[in-house]
Amino acid sequence: MVTGAPAKMLDRRDELTPMLAQYVDLAEEYDDAVLLFRVGDFYKAFCETADEVARVCELTRIEREDSTGTYTACGIPVDNAAKYLDRLLDAEYRLAVADQVEDPEETNGLVDRAVTQVITPGTVVDDELLATGSNTYVACVARGSTGDAAEVCGDSDGEYGLAHVDVSTGECAATAGSLADVQEELARIAPAELLTGPDVDAGGDDLADSAMTTEYDPTVFEPDAARERLTAYADPERFRPTAATAAGALLAYAEWAQGDDGPLGHVNRVRWYDPRRSLRLDATALRGLELFETHAGGDATLFDTLDETRCALGRRRLRAWLRRPLLDRERVESRHDAVEAFAEQTLVREEVRDLLGEAYDLERLVGRVTRGRADARDLRSLHATLEAVPEIRDALADVPELADLRDSLDALADLRERIDAAIVEDPPTDITDGGVVRDGFDADLDEVRGTAREGREWVANLESAERERTGIDNLDVGYNRVHGYYIEVTNGQLEKVPDDYTRRQTLKNSERFYTPELKRREDEILGADERADRLEYELFTEVRGDVAAEAERIQGLADAVARVDALAALATAAVERNYARPELGAEGVFVEGGRHPVVERTEPEFVPNDTDLPRGTVALVTGPNMSGKSTYMRQVALCVVLAQAGSFVPAQSARLPVVDRVFTRVGASDDIAGGESTFMREMRELTDILHDATADSLVVLDEVGRGTATTDGRAIARAAVEFLHDELGSTALFATHYHDLTELADERERVRNLHFAATREGGDVTFLHRAKPGAAAASYGVEVAELAGVPNPVVERARALVAEEADADAEPADEDPGSDSAQRTLDDLGGAERGRSRGAGTVDLTDAERETLAALREVDVADTTPMEALNRLNGLQRRLEEDV
């Protein structure tokens, strides 16, 4: 344990110095956090906590000695704390920051300290600790009573409530559903921290994917207490009881982390939402489509590809749109309308985007303002943004399609004027030291400042006046912080000093004096300065309070600015990457010249492909490894997601349905499934899909059933296709290595075949990356071997073996005369057992050819990457060539 009070100090508790005793008390109180204890210019940690802080932050430890013993200590410099706090948060520590809550200069003895803020990975509000373009959420899961469960879900998991909040922006929402719903929703929210109620087992229930889990005071999860808490923010009646519990408990936690000052001022709204009202993407789909994270070596995500936003507000909005594409056709089309208008109006778009470049992060600013943490510079930044708003409105004025957008931008002129009248243009960061408020803003302040100014003028004139009066021509008037104003006379001139001079300080070559009038003026100036500083601070906090009172309007503006930025970004991406506006229609997925938005950017010769999938069609996609199957299938899914998010799509033209869910299972063989066999995971994912897909879903499945024996795998794949087609009626793309599945196209009305082929040019195999109707050649594995230049006898022999095996497979199943002897692939040659039963055949083989065949037999195709396959083929070919 590195959190809590150090054992060594607890042992000597009664002997500790008062300061260390204070440390131990606070460390005990915040025993699940690393206590950072303000001493002078450092946040200190002691004993084992110091060891850990020093390790994580790469700081030096020191030994601190007092009468009670020696303690290891380590300190984080307060002025430069952010980067160290960031490291501790990365290492998943909660941090309790204990500040001095009394002015040390006004206290005799020990300064009182208290924990002013608890920082956890999910409740960070400090700009320096937050990523700008994304949200940092803390989520909370609460479990309903069995009564709720029976009423709502009739489901044995019971009902769960889920709430999330971004404490930096005040965005807060809650929902409720089954365990599976909550898991899916959590994958979308991707919180940095997950708070769990009693009875919720984050690990066992697969809830906290990469989030740190926090168990907090169970009493805040008591339904009545939680509802009570929520009441300060929203009407609990609008929520399912479990959602109200989750939201109330979450807000209790967020308040506590912010120092427990009562309700969070910038959380103006807790939204109730139903995840089913947006296009659902579960964790597997988010991962497989690489929306926000790459895996398996990809270098860009869909988000990166589209992100042409200019400000943090827009960046977070675009992320949210991709995370929750719409289901409502009208809303989708209204986004498309706006994107189209921006795409067509290049000048307007560029002007607006330039202006957006100046937009300050209004959402986080509201957070700081309401917490009383915003400084004068923040207010000036708000002012600068408010100044840009009328210009943005002007730029939008000429485009009728953007009129609604323009109207949503409230320029908050009253607030802008107030800030401008109050705060100087380039204020200092420190708001307690004056220089913040403009002259003319407040009569009292002007008067006090006038007094100080007059006094200073009098002092400024004093030097010449006194030189004249005393005849001391090198007499100086000066000021220092310790002694105040003085008149300095060198030792040689001391006899000329008049009687009204009182000695203040003796230096080596001179003496310093003051006069009663100078003293009086000094008191007046310093008093006025101090009063002015105090007054300025008061005036500043008053103006900040005025801004805080407009939190909702600023949030409304932030929302509108975010929309404008996200739409202009989508238009920019559409123009620069040559996307087309999709037409929406329920008939199916029809794309001309579709491209994969991410792959096309790194693949210089990307081959566009068409898609023709009437609603309810299952397309079986065949072709060798590396021929482009999975890229194609993902591009279709991405087109649908993009369209519903409001974006144009990478295609020449597209007519797309509004789907309820996109299911994907692609590239799972590249996944390192934590602890679970790949096959088990694959089957779980398949279960989810077959359970939940509807006739309005788009299903993209890559190589189902590869992780098990061929016979089983083939059977599972076939049954899945049949189920998709016969029972679910989903529109689907289904890539398979099991070639005999392609027969289904003859048997089922809406099953089609699509294939990707390869050719040989010179000595090289070339993948055309072109989707063509029909199934791939039956034994394309052997064909690829031929294309790669494996000598004829081997290819022929391989073909014969394929045929022979197909026959052998067919024999015991006499009832199945339809089985096509040519439908075997190199996959099947991998079966070592079958290999042993084969005869030598009728072709005369050289040793090298025999070895090649043996090597081919040993290949476990299911466990071979495309690269390994190519290398192996290359090796075999070499071996054969050497033999000639």
Binding-site entries for ATP? 623-630
Report d(CA 819, CA 838) in Å as an integer: 20
Q: Are 287 and 301 in contact (CB under 8 A)?
A: no
* Residue in 117, 196, 214, 630 binding ligand ADP, rule: CB under 6 A: 630
* Residue in 309, 370, 385, 627 binding ligand ADP, rule: CB under 6 A: 627
Report d(CA 89, CA 82) in Å as an integer: 10
Q: Which is nearer to ligand ADP, 386 or 618 (CB)?
A: 618
Q: Which is nearer to ligand ADP, 352 or 700 (CB)?
A: 700
Tokens of 413: 């002129």
* Residue in 122, 628, 781, 789 binding ligand ADP, rule: CB under 6 A: 628
631 makes contact with ligand ADP (CB under 6 A): yes
Please report, in range form, the residues annotated as the binding site: 623-630
Coil, strand or helix at 872:
helix
Window 104-143: residues binding ligand ADP (CB under 6 A): none
Q: Which is nearer to ligand ADP, 625 or 647 (CB)?
A: 625
Strand order across the beta sheet in which 653-656 lies: 583-584, 653-656, 588-594, 609-614
Residue 577, C-beta contacts closer than 8 angstroms, at least 6 positions apart? 305, 597, 600, 601, 650
Q: Which is nearer to ligand ADP, 527 or 593 (CB)?
A: 593
**Residue of 758, 771, 767, 769 whose CA lies nearest to 619:** 771
- Report the nearest approach of ligand ADP to the CB of residue 588 (Å): 21
How many helices (H) and strands (E) are present in the chain, helices listed first? Answer: 31, 26
- Report the nearest approach of ligand ADP to the CB of residue 625 (Å): 4
Report d(CA 229, CA 130) in Å as an integer: 27
Q: Which is nearer to ligand ADP, 123 or 627 (CB)?
A: 627
- Report the nearest approach of ligand ADP to the CB of residue 786 (Å): 18
Cα 477 vs. chain centroid, distance in angstroms? 60
Contact window for ligand ADP (CB under 6 A) among 429-437, 471-479, 618-626, 723-731: 618-626
φ, ψ of residue 723 to 5 degrees: the values are: -65, -45
Contact window for ligand ADP (CB under 6 A) among 210-218, 266-274, 498-506, 603-611: 603-611
Contact window for ligand ADP (CB under 6 A) among 81-89, 431-439, 601-609, 636-644: 601-609
Contact window for ligand ADP (CB under 6 A) among 332-340, 382-390, 456-464, 619-627: 619-627
- Report the nearest approach of ligand ADP to the CB of residue 595 (Å): 7
Report d(CA 865, CA 782) in Å as an integer: 17
**Residue of 748, 711, 749, 718 whose CA lies nearest to 734:** 718
* Residue in 135, 258, 385, 625 binding ligand ADP, rule: CB under 6 A: 625
- Report the nearest approach of ligand ADP to the CB of residue 702 (Å): 7
Q: Which is nearer to ligand ADP, 275 or 628 (CB)?
A: 628
The number of C-alpha atoms within 13 Å of 771 and in the hemisphere containing its C-beta is 27
Helical residues (DSSP H) of 704-841, grouped into ranges: 710-723, 744-747, 780-787, 792-810, 826-829, 832-836
SS (H, E, C) 610-675: EEEEECCCEEEEECCCCCCHHHHHHHHHHHHHHHHHCCCECCCEEEECCCCEEEEECCHHHCCCCC
Contact window for ligand ADP (CB under 6 A) among 106-114, 309-317, 624-632, 743-751: 624-632
Q: Which is nearer to ligand ADP, 288 or 623 (CB)?
A: 623
664 makes contact with ligand ADP (CB under 6 A): no
DSSP letter (8 states) at residue 206: T
Say how many C-beta atoms besides its own lie within 10 A of residue 473's C-beta. Answer: 9
- Report the nearest approach of ligand ADP to the CB of residue 597 (Å): 12
Contact window for ligand ADP (CB under 6 A) among 54-62, 181-189, 484-492, 621-629: 621-629
φ, ψ of residue 43 to 5 degrees: the values are: -95, 120
Give the number of residues in contact with ligand ADP, rule: CB under 6 A.
Answer: 15
Q: Which is nearer to ligand ADP, 316 or 737 (CB)?
A: 737
- Report the nearest approach of ligand ADP to the CB of residue 771 (Å): 8
* Residue in 422, 626, 717, 798 binding ligand ADP, rule: CB under 6 A: 626
Residues forming beta bridges with residue 77, ordered by sequence position: 42
Instruction: Name residue 754's amino acid.
Output: L
User: What's the alpha-carbon Rg for the chain, to the nearest Å?
Assistant: 36
Coil, strand or helix at 764:
strand
Contact window for ligand ADP (CB under 6 A) among 364-372, 577-585, 627-635, 851-859: 627-635
Q: Which is nearer to ligand ADP, 667 or 793 (CB)?
A: 667
Q: Which is nearer to ligand ADP, 161 or 713 (CB)?
A: 713
Provide the mask over 768-787, with x wherever binding to ligand ADP is found by CB under 6 A and - wherever it is not. -x------------------
Q: Which is nearer to ligand ADP, 342 or 590 (CB)?
A: 590
Q: Which is nearer to ligand ADP, 386 or 637 (CB)?
A: 637
Provide the mask over 33-72, with x wherever binding to ligand ADP is found by CB under 6 A and - wherever it is not. ----------------------------------------
- Report the nearest approach of ligand ADP to the CB of residue 206 (Å): 28
* Residue in 607, 673, 683, 808 binding ligand ADP, rule: CB under 6 A: 607
Say how many C-beta atoms besides its own lie within 10 A of residue 721's C-beta. Answer: 22
**Residue of 801, 831, 777 whose CA lies nearest to 624:** 777
- Report the nearest approach of ligand ADP to the CB of residue 703 (Å): 8
Instruction: Name residue 283's amino acid.
Output: A
Residues forming beta bridges with residue 619, ordered by sequence position: 733, 752
- Report the nearest approach of ligand ADP to the CB of residue 600 (Å): 8
Report d(CA 551, CA 366) in Å as an integer: 6
- Report the nearest approach of ligand ADP to the CB of residue 855 (Å): 22
- Report the nearest approach of ligand ADP to the CB of residue 545 (Å): 57
Contact window for ligand ADP (CB under 6 A) among 110-118, 184-192, 277-285, 598-606: 598-606
* Residue in 292, 606, 679, 723 binding ligand ADP, rule: CB under 6 A: 606
- Report the nearest approach of ligand ADP to the CB of residue 598 (Å): 10
Q: Which is nearer to ligand ADP, 214 or 627 (CB)?
A: 627
Interstrand relation of 653-656 and 588-594 (parallel, antiparallel or unpaired): antiparallel
* Residue in 603, 612, 688, 851 binding ligand ADP, rule: CB under 6 A: 603
* Residue in 73, 211, 599, 777 binding ligand ADP, rule: CB under 6 A: 599
Residue 166, C-beta contacts closer than 8 angstroms, at least 6 positions apart? 135, 136, 137, 172
10 makes contact with ligand ADP (CB under 6 A): no
Report d(CA 545, CA 265) in Å as an integer: 11
Q: Which is nearer to ligand ADP, 72 or 609 (CB)?
A: 609
Report d(CA 313, CA 611) in Å as an integer: 35
Q: Which is nearer to ligand ADP, 175 or 625 (CB)?
A: 625
Q: Which long-range contacts (CB under 8 A, 24 or more apart) does 872-881 make?
A: 873/784, 873/785, 873/788, 873/790, 874/788, 876/790, 876/794, 876/852, 877/788, 877/789, 877/790, 877/791, 879/848, 879/851, 879/852, 880/790, 880/791, 880/794, 880/848, 880/849, 880/852
What are the residues binding ligand ADP (CB under 6 A)?
Answer: 599, 603, 605-607, 609, 623, 625-631, 769
